[in-house]
Amino acid sequence: MRRLLRSPLLWTLLSSIAVLVGVTAWLLTDRATSRGDALKTGALAGGAIAALYGLWLNDRRRRTEEDRHEIERSRISDERFAKSIELLGNEADQVRVGAMHSLAGLARTRPEYRQTVLDVLCAYLRRPFAHPAFTPGNPWNDTEREAEAERERLVRRAAERLIRDILPHAGTTGPTFGLNLSDARIDKLELTARRVGWFGADRSEVLHHLVFENAELSGKFSLNHATIHGELRLTGAAFKRRVQMDGLTVEKPVDFSVATFAEPPLLEGAKLAPGTTLPS
C-alpha cells in the first residue's frame, strides 16, 4: 500500500483528474461557456499533466540508459587497458607495438586514461635496454642478439612517438600531463609544439636527440646527470618553472638563447659541447 502511494503514476493520475475536475468546474461558473467546451478544456488541461509525466519518464529512462552505457564503456575500457598491459610483456615485437597503439587509442577516447597511459609508456622506456648503438666502442659480434636489440629499439621508438601524439598541442587549454623518464634510455624523443607539465629525465641517456622546439613546459623540468649523445633542441621552447640540468652532458652544441626561461637554468657541473650558447 505504501509503495502504491509513493508511485509517481498514481499521483500523476490523481493530479490529472483533479485538474480536469477543477478546470471544468471553474469554466462552468461562466454562463457563456457550454458544458461541452468546459469538459473539453478540462480534459486538455488534465492531459497536459499526463504528457508532462510522460516527458519526465522518458527523460529518466534516457538517463538510466546513458548511465548503463557509461558503466559498460568503463568496463570495456578497463578490460582493454588490462589486456594491453599484459601484451606489453609479449615476446613478439609486433604484439608490443600493437598493445602500445591500443593504449594510445584508449587515451584518445577516454581522457581520464591519458596520464596513466603516459606513465605506462614512460615506464616501458625505463626498462633495461642494451643496444650496440649505445656502446659504439664495444661491438657485440652477435648477429642474432643485435637483430633482437634492433627490433626492441623500433618498439621503443613507437613508444616515443605515441607519447608525443598523446600530449596536447602547445597553445591549447585543458589539463597538463607529466612525463617521468628518469633512468630511461631514449632514442629520438620529439615533443615539438607540445604542452607538457612536469618533465623529469634525470640520469637518462639519449642516443640521437631530445627536441622541445616551440613546446610549452609549465611544470618543473629536470635533466640532472643526463647524457645526450646527439642534440638538445630548444628553439622557441617556453620553460615556465625552474629548470635543473646539473651534471648534464651534451655532446653537440646547444643554443639556450633561443628558449625562454622563467628563471636561469641550473647548470652546475654540466658538460656542454664547444659552441654552446648559454642563456642570456
Residue-number span of the structural domain to which 211 is assigned = 169-280
230 vs 234: CA distance, rounded Å: 13
**Do residues 101 and 179 share a domain?**
no
In angstroms, the Cα distances linking 183 to 17, 79, 129, 205 are 76, 30, 11, 7
User: What are the helix and strand counts (H, E) for the chain?
Assistant: 6, 14
The answer to the question of residue 74 being in a domain is yes
The domain boundary residue, chosen from 166, 181, 204: 166
In angstroms, the Cα distances linking 128 to 125, 158, 187, 225 are 8, 17, 14, 18
More confident site: 280 or 271: 271
The predicted pLDDT at position 127 comes to 93
Q: Average pLDDT of 89-98?
A: 93
Average pLDDT of the chain? Answer: 84
For 54, phi and psi rounded to 5 degrees?
-60, -40
The answer to the question of residue 245 being in a domain is yes
Does residue 24 surpass a pLDDT of 60?
no
Does residue 140 surpass a pLDDT of 80?
no
Does residue 177 surpass a pLDDT of 80?
yes
Q: Average pLDDT of 58-86?
A: 76
The predicted pLDDT at position 5 comes to 45
The predicted pLDDT at position 37 comes to 52
**Do residues 91 and 19 share a domain?**
no
The answer to the question of residue 220 being in a domain is yes
The answer to the question of residue 162 being in a domain is yes
The answer to the question of residue 196 being in a domain is yes
pLDDT band at residue 254 under the 50/70/90 scheme: very high
More confident site: 33 or 68: 68
In angstroms, the Cα distances linking 229 to 36, 148, 188 are 94, 22, 11
pLDDT band at residue 46 under the 50/70/90 scheme: low
The domain boundary residue, chosen from 166, 184, 204: 166
The predicted pLDDT at position 242 comes to 93
The answer to the question of residue 125 being in a domain is yes
In angstroms, the Cα distances linking 56 to 9, 15, 16, 62 are 11, 15, 15, 10
Q: Average pLDDT of 8-34?
A: 53
Does residue 20 surpass a pLDDT of 50?
no
The domain boundary residue, chosen from 16, 42, 60: 60
The answer to the question of residue 65 being in a domain is no
**Do residues 199 and 255 share a domain?**
yes
**Do residues 51 and 121 share a domain?**
no
Q: Average pLDDT of 24-29?
A: 52
What share of the chain has pLDDT > 90, as a percent? Answer: 60
Q: Average pLDDT of 79-92?
A: 90
Which residues pair with residue 180 across a beta bridge?
200
Q: Average pLDDT of 3-14?
A: 52
SS3 95: helix
**Do residues 101 and 80 share a domain?**
yes
Does residue 32 surpass a pLDDT of 70?
no
**Do residues 177 and 131 share a domain?**
no
The predicted pLDDT at position 221 comes to 97
The predicted pLDDT at position 6 comes to 54
More confident site: 81 or 74: 81
**Do residues 74 and 126 share a domain?**
yes
Q: Average pLDDT of 207-219?
A: 96
The predicted pLDDT at position 142 comes to 78
**Do residues 156 and 198 share a domain?**
no
**Do residues 148 and 225 share a domain?**
no
**Do residues 29 and 133 share a domain?**
no
Domain count of the fold of the chain:
3
The predicted pLDDT at position 133 comes to 81
**Do residues 132 and 185 share a domain?**
no
**Do residues 15 and 106 share a domain?**
no
99 vs 85: CA distance, rounded Å: 7
